[in-house]
Amino acid sequence: MKSILKATVAAAALVVAGSAANAADVKACFVYVGPVGDFGWSYQHDQGRLAVEAKFGDKVETAYLESVPEGPDAERAIERFAREGCNIIFTTSFGYMNPTLKVAKKFPDVKFEHATGYKSADNVATYNSKFHEGRYIIGQIAAKQSKSGVAGYIASFPIPEVVAGINAFLLGAQSVNPDFKLKVVWVNTWFDPGKEADAAKALIDQGADVITQHTDSTAPLQVAQERGAHGFGQASDMINFAKDAQYTAIIDDWAPYYVHRVQDVLDGKWESGSAWDGLAEGHVVMAPYTNLPDDVVEMAKATEAKIIGGWEPFTGPITKQDGSVAAEDGVRLDDGAILGMNWYVQGVDDKLPQ
């Protein structure tokens, strides 16, 4: 209900804005699944939009719709943007995939960019980030720093991106301590600060002294701070919430990509494609390493450099939870295997919900 109201208000505002003289060369529009105030996923996308505004000034006009539910409402929102003269439209959630393609068919001259999806078209590009690269690094840090040898992982939904994150974290940890244990708690929500906090408390009570999360709020880190445990920021730098507890944060930085793609539209050389970039391209950024001894910081920075140099964390030997071999020694999993990951690596103390 809230999102409908907000979308309506935003749409009304857009109608007003659209009727004003349009002096900009390019209009870039963004559709968000959450409120820009979530301080997580949608917040980071909006930071990217602001970077586009800052970079191009009067040449580019931007607009956004927030809290647009995935489904038929999304199609309406995207189509409205297309009709209003947006030249490029970024749809920033997995569930916008089919609506984006549907609208794109009707507006062949408008460029579309869909985040985290796998279907593209002549005027629909896809883009995503290699968050698992950052998770490998924080896994290493966790294994170095944990006294109990157990980390807790607050997970949202059993989709490939989340599963790959858990696996990358544990592979990183095992590279430091082969016996490292990982407890996983599924909260079945992307965003519920109270529930995330309770999950963090449960994990700490069960012996985890380092926790990490694939949910969007800062609540687990605050619990870590309160309980004297440690953790990592998610999506944005959360150091303000846990100045003694945060080791680092995996930051989603969409700004370089958005600036680059809008530049392409300005230059008239935009082409459809599929971008999947990580640390090397600056789409995934590690926040400053804090509360860590020097040797651990050095290790983390060395791994970061190795990944930027082209090394893939999902390089064998990798053994699946059931004991079968996922990748032989030195063999690198291909992109499809990572993007569609539906198995745990050996050592995860959890049964993957199916």
Partner 1 sequence: MFEAVLLTVITAATPILIAAIGELVAERSGVLNLGVEGMMIMGAVIGFAVANQTGSGTLGVIAAVAAGMAMSALFGFLVLILVANQVATGLALTILGIGFSGLIGEAFIGVPGLILPELYIPVLSEIPFIGPVFFQQDAIVYLGFALVAVVAYVLFKTRLGLVLRAVGNNHGSAHALGYSVIKVRFMAVLFGGGCAGLAGAYMSLAYTPQWVENMTAGRGWIALALVVFSSWLPLRVIVGAYLFGAVSVLNLHAQAVELDIPSQLLSSLPYLATIVVLVLISANRRLTLVNTPACLGKPFVPDR
Q: Which positions touch partner 1 (CB under 8 A)?
A: 1-2, 5-6, 9, 34-35, 37-39, 43, 152, 183-189, 191-199, 201-203, 205-206, 208, 217-219, 222, 226, 236, 240-241, 349-351, 353
Distances (CA, A) of 283 to 127, 136, 192, 335: 11, 16, 26, 17
DSSP percent split of the chain into helix, strand, coil, nearest 5: 45, 20, 35
Closer CB to partner 1, 97 or 249, in the complex: 249
Using alpha carbons, select from 180, 170, 132, 139 the residue that is nearest to residue 299: 139
Contact 289, 248 (CB under 8 A): yes
Q: What is the largest CA-CA distance in the chain?
A: 64
CB of 226 to partner 1, least distance (A): 8
Nearest to 261, CA basis, from 23, 17, 30:
30
The nearer residue to partner 1, 52 or 185, going by C-beta atoms, is: 185
- Give the span between the Cα atoms of 239 and 122, in whole angstroms: 41
- The smaller minimum CB distance to partner 1, of residues 194 and 336, is found at 194
- Tell the smallest beta-carbon distance from residue 203 to partner 1 (Å): 5
Q: Which is nearer to partner 1, 269 or 351 (CB)?
A: 351
Q: How far is the CB of 106 from partner 1 (least distance, A)?
A: 31
The answer to whether 252 touches 283, Cβ cutoff 8 Å, is: yes
* Cβ partners under 8 Å of residue 222, min gap 6: 197, 241, 242
Query: In what order do the strands lie in the sheet containing 274-277?
Result: 60-65, 26-31, 88-91, 111-115, 124-129, 274-277
Written as one string, the DSSP assignment of 152-166 is: EEEE----HHHHHHH
Considering beta carbons, is residue 161 or 196 the nearer one to partner 1? 196
Rounded to a whole number of angstroms, the minimum distance from the CB of residue 342 to partner 1 is: 16
Q: Where are the alpha helices (DSSP H) in 123-246?
A: 131-145, 160-176, 193-205, 219-227
Which residue's CB is nearer to partner 1, number 212 or number 222? 222
CB of 303 to partner 1, least distance (A): 28
Residues 6+ apart with CB under 8 A from 302: none
Shortest distance, CB of residue 240 to partner 1, whole angstroms? 5
* Minimum distance of partner 1 from residue 208's CB (angstroms): 8
Classify the C-alpha dihedral 164-95-116-40 as positive or negative: negative
Least distance from partner 1 to the Cβ atom of residue 169, Å: 16
Toward partner 1, which CB reaches closer, 38 or 253? 38
Q: How far is the CB of 163 from partner 1 (least distance, A)?
A: 13
Tokens of 57: 């000034």
Q: Tell me whether residue 35 or residue 256 sits nearer to partner 1 (CB atom).
A: 35
3-state SS string over 54-95? HHHHHHEEEEEECCCCCCHHHHHHHHHHHHCCCCEEEECCHH
Closer of 37 and 85 to partner 1 (Cβ): 37
